[in-house]
Amino acid sequence: MKDFDVIVIGGGAAGLLCALTAGQRGRRVLVIERANKVGKKILMSGGGRCNFTNLHVEPSRFLSANPDFCISALSRYTQWDFIELVNKHGIAWHEKTQGQLFCDESSKQILNMLLRECDDEGVIIRTGCEIKRVDQDHGFSIIAGQEQYSADSLVVASGGLSIPKMGGSGFGYDLARQFGLNVLPTRAGLVPFVITDTIKDLTSHLSGVAVHAGVNAHGQTFVDDMLFTHRGLSGPAILQLSSYWREGDTLEINLLPAMDMRNMLLSAKKARPKLLLRTLLAEYLPKKLVLTLETLWWQTAAERPLAEWQDKLLSAIADKLAHWAIRPAGTEGYRTAEVTLGGVDTRDLSSKTMESKPCSGLYFIGEVVDVTGQLGGFNFQWAWSSGHVAGHYV
């Protein structure tokens, strides 16, 4: 039996931040990671440059059955605190768009920073370690691989179901249930849509075409880039919307969100009467998309100049461009989802410490908890904040 003060299950963003914070308090800390190396999601994030936080962190950017739960942790370890740590290690960074912060060079810098901090505090990390059993009796006892470990405090930072090839699993949910915590239903978030109906051939034909669009579903609207894929729709706008979309919902696409299209079309009819509609729209949208929409919506009038269009027909086309309704068959699921929605019920956790209410000494942090950020560095900030808070109390 090897004794520690704290055992952290999961060597991702939340787990490592928690481990180094506890280590700074003089705690003897062990991190157990089932994958062959820690921080796989950190390494892959932001196209290899790690979108490590956002300048505009606020509770409204997070989804949870209890929207207020995240306030305490986010206010006690802010984006500015993490930026200070990044600066301390001399990591150059930049704001890309909408407050999203990325490393200038590589996401490896963020992981190496965390590992150096852990090493400085004597944190022990074990990788490729499958946990076989967890018991509680005057602390916690864990059998992992061929070893048995014990600790007064146990922190579950095992993530969710997203991207199983990166180590995503339901282990943390099972552990929560084992110790009497409620687990809310989970689903894939920040994930592309799959389209299987008659629109599929059109979206497949447009694979690789991107457009700046407004997308709306379930009372939420996001304006950002949207990408057509061979399976359906992706891109930042779609990923954002996917966390709010529900099975069976129709999503609405505004292909020119910054423009009053009815006014634009009717004005063009007066000013440029000989112009074809596709020629006009190709000034604002990718030509391949315009030709596809022509086939879908006005093929019989394709060669008719604007002067010959009735105003009500141009208004109808404007309405279609602003309210293109598509009903996805579903999402690509956990295979490509960046996050898992739902998870450990926050009603069973202390927002101040992240400690379990039913089971003293047991903590849940990061993605395994029912707190999910929007796209843009918010999920990393939740990992840092919840990890830091737990690290102060374990």
- Domain 192-331 sits in which CATH superfamily? Translation factors (2.40.30.10)
- β-bridge mates for residue 153, sequence order: 6
pLDDT digits (tens, 9 = 90+) for 190-223: 999 999 877 777 777 899 999 999 999 989 999 9
Q: Taking residues 81-86, what's their average pLDDT?
A: 98
Question: Alpha-carbon torsion 259, 263, 265, 269, what sign?
Answer: negative
Q: Tens of pLDDT along 256-296? A: 999 999 999 999 999 999 999 999 999 999 999 999 999 98
Q: Which residue ranges does the chain devote to CATH 3.50.50.60? A: 2-187+340-391
Answer yes or no: are the C-beta atoms of 250 and 327 closer than 8 Å: yes
CB 73 within 8 A of CB 385: yes
Contact 107, 46 (CB under 8 A): yes
Q: What is the pLDDT of residue 168?
A: 78
Tell me the average pLDDT across 83-93.
Answer: 98
pTM: predicted TM-score of the whole model, two decimal places: 0.95
Phi, psi of 119 (to 5 degrees): -65, -40
CB burial string 370-390: b at 16+ within 10 A, e below: bbbbbbbbbbbbbbbbbbbbb
Average pLDDT over residues 112-139: 96
Distance separating alpha carbons of residues 309 and 315, to the nearest angstrom = 10
Residue 6 pLDDT level (bands cut at 50, 70, 90): very high
pLDDT-derived band at 369 (thresholds 50, 70, 90) equals very high
Q: What integer pLDDT is reported at residue 197 of this predicted model? A: 77
Backbone angles phi, psi at 55, to 5 degrees: -65, -20
Ramachandran region, residue 23 (left: φ > 0; alpha: ψ -120 to 50; beta: rest): alpha
pLDDT of residue 167: 76
What average pLDDT score do residues 343-367 get?
98
SS3 content of the chain, % helix, strand, coil (to 5): 35, 25, 35
pLDDT of 137: 86
> Which uninterrupted H or E stretch holds 132?
strand 131-136
- CATH class of the region 2-187+340-391: alpha beta
- Phi then psi for residue 153, to 5 deg, are -120, 140
Q: What is the DSSP string of 61-99?
A: GEE-SSTTTHHHHHHHS-HHHHHHHHHHTT--EEE-STT
Cα 44 to chain centroid distance, Å, stands at 13
Within 8 A by CB and 6+ apart from 274, the residues are 305, 306, 307
**Alpha-carbon dihedral sign for residues 230, 258, 61, 100:** positive
d(CA 294, CA 21): 58
In which band, very low, low, confident or very high, does the pLDDT at 146 lie, cut at 50, 70 and 90? confident
Lowest mean pLDDT among 62-76, 161-175, 286-300: 161-175
- Write out the residue limits of the CATH 2.40.30.10 domain(s) in the chain: 192-331
Backbone φ, ψ for residue 41 (5° rounding): -70, -35
